[in-house]
């Protein structure tokens, strides 16, 4: 039976609210008997009350991405009200660090995407979190059983959530479409929804090839890549950002040149999108670099991008840029007396000259040590001065 055949009907929101024993459920702060008030607040006539209600739901039933027994029924209610006209109200987020103004509908779709991301993460982490005998690795059997039950409940409702979210991929509002795209991308990581991917992919491929704005086309390509769909057909697109996102979803021969082109000016690549796309956090150059390192055959290919990135590297970015570059440059640890290659020498010289990469922050130490290199600047400079690259 396919997921389409097995999907239960979406419960009517008011009936769900009345039929659920919320006091028997829990969220991050204890019993969830106050959750119905937060859910009803989403449909309040005052947009500020709506924003505050969603903020409380984020802090309680999806606290820092954690799933609770109240999460699944709350998600079904949220999915069930997406077509309510009151979700068209525009407001800023309840949280001071998020100054976006957008329809509540977009915020609700994003919230459902965050839930789906957490459920998919739990799918991926099952083997790592279970003990070798399948028992609770922390030793608290009752708490572990409650956590597993909450995760399973969220997995069970994913087909219903998908059916509620997917229609908004075609909404007239770009912010709603983007939020729906992020939610659909996370939902389709569910093994039981694999049969929904071809239809969704066909829709996104049309968006990617279309004449929409850069952000929407790029988001479609990143989603397609996340589903394992090859995006190499757009490696020659006229938009450099679209070419780069296409490169992230293919191993075709043109992917490495497209990523090198994008990283030739990493500051410009960072400025392609005003806000991070829903598929990743942090600067876009970090994502481009990961894609390049996954595809390049040798560090010599990577060197032009490495030298372009060094002027933006620092102590606090090492785990995202020059640390992975060191690992690529030295797949085997350096041993004293062995000549450096020209590419290794050029990259290390650029790092040694970059003041911002050196200081009291210790993050760099493990990367340099793994590469077999001195962990301080002066010894590294001495190593570079000991001989020209390629000489003993």
**300, 319, 330, 389 from 343: Cα distances, Å:** 6, 21, 11, 8
pLDDT digits (tens, 9 = 90+) for 302-336: 999 999 999 999 999 999 999 999 999 999 999 98
Report yes or no: 240 and 262 within 8 Å, Cβ to Cβ: yes
For 52-56, 139-143, 304-308, which range has the lowest pLDDT when averaged over its residues? 139-143
pLDDT band (50, 70, 90) for residue 209 = very high
d(Cα 338, Cα 237) in Å, to the nearest integer?
A: 44
Longest CA span, the chain: 79
Average confidence (pLDDT) over 242-250? 97
Q: Rounded to an integer, what is the distance from CA 339 to the centroid of its chain?
A: 40
Q: What is the DSSP code (8-state) at residue 255?
A: H
SS3 content of the chain, % helix, strand, coil (to 5): 60, 5, 35
Tokens matching residue 373? 């290199």
d(Cα 120, Cα 151) in Å, to the nearest integer?
A: 10
pLDDT band (50, 70, 90) for residue 68 = very high
Tell me the whole-structure pTM to 2 decimals: 0.79
Other Cβ atoms less than 10 A from the Cβ of 277: the count is 20
- pLDDT for residue 120: 86
The gap between the terminal CA atoms of the chain, to the nearest Å, is: 66
Rounded to 5°, angle at Cα 71 from 66 and 72 = 125
């Amino acid at each position: 039976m396919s997921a389409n055949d097995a999907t239960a009907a979406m419960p009517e929101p008011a009936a769900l609210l009345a039929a659920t024993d919320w006091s028997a459920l829990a969220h991050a702060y204890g019993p969830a008997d106050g959750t119905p008030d937060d859910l009803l607040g989403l449909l309040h006539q005052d947009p500020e009350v709506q924003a505050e209600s969603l903020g409380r739901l984020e802090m309680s039933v999806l606290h820092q991405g954690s799933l609770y027994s109240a999460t699944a029924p709350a998600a079904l209610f949220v999915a069930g009200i997406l077509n309510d006209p009151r979700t068209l109200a525009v407001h800023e987020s309840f949280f001071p660090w998020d100054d976006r103004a957008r329809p509540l509908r977009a915020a609700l779709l994003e919230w459902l995407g965050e839930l789906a991301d957490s459920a998919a993460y739990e799918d991926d982490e099952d083997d790592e979190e279970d003990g070798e005998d399948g028992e609770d690795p922390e030793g608290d059997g009752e708490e572990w059983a409650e956590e597993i039950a909450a995760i399973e409940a969220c997995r069970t409702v994913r087909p219903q959530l998908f059916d509620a979210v997917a229609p908004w991929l075609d909404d007239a509002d770009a912010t709603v479409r983007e939020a729906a795209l992020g939610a659909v991308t996370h939902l389709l990581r569910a093994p039981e929804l694999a049969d929904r991917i071809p239809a969704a992919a066909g829709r996104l491929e049309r968006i990617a090839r279309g004449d929409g704005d850069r952000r929407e086309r790029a988001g479609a390509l990143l989603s397609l890549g996340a589903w394992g769909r090859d995006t190499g057909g757009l490696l020659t697109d006229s938009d450099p950002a679209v070419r780069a996102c296409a490169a992230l979803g293919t191993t075709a021969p043109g992917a490495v040149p497209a990523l090198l082109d994008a990283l030739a000016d990493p500051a410009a690549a960072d400025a392609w999108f005003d806000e991070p796309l829903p598929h990743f956090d942090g600067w876009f150059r970090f994502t481009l670099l990961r894609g390049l390192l996954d595809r390049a055959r040798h560090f010599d290919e990577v060197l032009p991008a490495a030298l372009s990135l060094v002027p933006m590297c620092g102590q606090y970015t090492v785990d995202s840029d020059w640390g992975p570059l060191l690992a690529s440059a030295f797949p085997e640890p350096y041993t004293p007396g062995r000549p450096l290659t020209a590419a290794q020498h050029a990259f290390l010289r650029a790092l040694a000259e970059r003041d911002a990469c050196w200081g009291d922050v210790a993050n760099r130490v493990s990367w340099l040590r793994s590469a077999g290199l001195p962990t301080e600047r002066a010894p590294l400079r001495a190593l570079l001065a000991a001989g020209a690259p390629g000489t003993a």
